[in-house]
Chain A
Amino acid sequence: MATATAGDSLPAVALDGVGRAYGERVALREVSFTLARGATVAVFGANGAGKTTLLRILAGLLRPHAGSARVLGAELPREAYRARGRIGLLGHDPMLYRDLTVRENLRFHGRLHGVDETRAETLVAQVGLAARADDPVRTLSRGMTQRAAICRAVLHAPELLLLDEPLANLDPGGAAAVAPLIGRAAGPARVLISHAAEQGLAEADDVLGLREGRVALWAPAAQVGLSDVRGLYA
């Protein structure tokens, strides 16, 4: 479970001039923004704009090559260990072992995070997966796998949620079931990647638009229109 630390008064995310390259290809250039605790930033951008790279840097899985990145008060990558166990990542990969059941996967991740087994049971029931909890993940539909992945991402009650199209593959019932876990009311700060402009804007306090790895838009969500978001994909 996440525990309070001395850095709790600091923003959830504070990036200053962050850059990242893969060999010759620059994926992120001079990205700067701040995300307050409990707030949500919606990240928009076309494919290859650098959204996933940004998320993986925030998760501590990629080192920034330039600039300064602070997550939950921890300077990355030097103090990444301080943020471990306090961040929940829901990416394109569900991060679930396909040959293990949903319950086995959640218990495994629960043990890594020191979380009681009852937490997994509660989450599985909450997202409507109780009847399939003993089925291997490889036998689940995409929507069910996404529900299980959401359980995995919030299992340890993270202080920062990194969500990459969290409602992908979910039917309306599934989306409603996971809303208390990853929606605005869930509590943690959120970095939300979405291609659904309307939905993303409704969920966010701030909007970050990326184009070719650069910040093309940074504004409070209330001041951003659908056309501004669509312009990022032009």
Chain B
Amino acid sequence: MRTTVAALIRKDLRLELRSFESVPAMLMFSVSTFVLFHFGLDRGALDGDLAAGVLWVTLLLAAVLGMNRLFVAEQEQGGFDGFLMAPVDRTALFVAKALVLFGYLAAVELVAVPAFVVLLLAPGAGQALPELLAVLVLADAGIAVVGTLIGALGVQTRARDLIVPLIALPLLVPVVIAAAEASAPLFAVAGADPFPGRWLLVLALYDAVFGLLAYAVFDYLLEE
């Protein structure tokens, strides 16, 4: 399965590098949203709960753009048929796509999080980078798993752009709550508050539950 996953990831990254359809759109959306919040809130400096909420809602909505495009090449260019006729484990497609979406989110966050710090975060807040990285990794994993599942479901419908956010956003509410709760103390102005590790556990549990669920049902989503 490792060879198949590697081949699928390599193919997806090549397609993205040639078409620039997902990551630039996700990035532009994130930065534009931060600019809108900057002016819309009429505050150049957010901290605590508000800063965490703005960051995670923005990243989640940007992720929806990536979910929408995740399976488009497979659907429009015969990739599904080619894959389904090959003697490979179908779960490889789920694993590869989830890793690709995770990679897209990480690439977006490399630019979007510093942009968030510059545009919105209060001076002195956001000092605990390792903890924030842990939150980002666990939240991205959850978004990638659920996003891949919903992306595969949505691409087979005519109303993909509508279906994906309608299903994905409610399913990802726990991720936003846990990620925002875990990040809020890190964005406190008077130095980082004690890090609520239990929210990391919630994220890890969410990732494990939805990872197993996706593993179990993904095969059926590929059926006609």
Contacts and interface: CB of A to CB of B under 8 A. Distances in A.
Interface residues of A, number: 29
Contacts of A111: 3-4, 7
Given A59-B81, A99-B18, A114 B87 contact: yes
A113 interface: yes
Interface residues of B, number: 23
B90 to A, nearest CB: 9
Please indicate which of the listed interface residues B11, B73, B82 has the most CB atoms of chain A within 10 Å of its own CB. Answer: B82
A161 B7 CA distance: 25
B191 interface: no
Nearest to A89: B85
Interface in A82-127: 84-87, 89, 91, 93-100, 104, 108-109, 111-114
A99 B15 contact: yes
A62 interface: yes
A63 interface: yes
A108 B78 contact: no
A95 B82 contact: yes
A128 interface: no
A61 B73 contact: no
B77 A59 contact: no
B210 interface: no
Interface in B66-103: 73, 77-79, 81-88
A61 B14 CA distance: 26
B224 interface: yes
Contact of A85 (B11, B19, B79, B87): B87
Question: What are the nearest 5 A-B pairs in CB distance?
Answer: A85-B87, A95-B78, A112-B86, A111-B7, A99-B18
6 contacts: A60-B85, A89-B85, A91-B81, A97-B15, A112-B83, A152-B82
Interface of A: 59-63, 81, 84-87, 89, 91, 93-100, 104, 108-109, 111-114, 136, 152
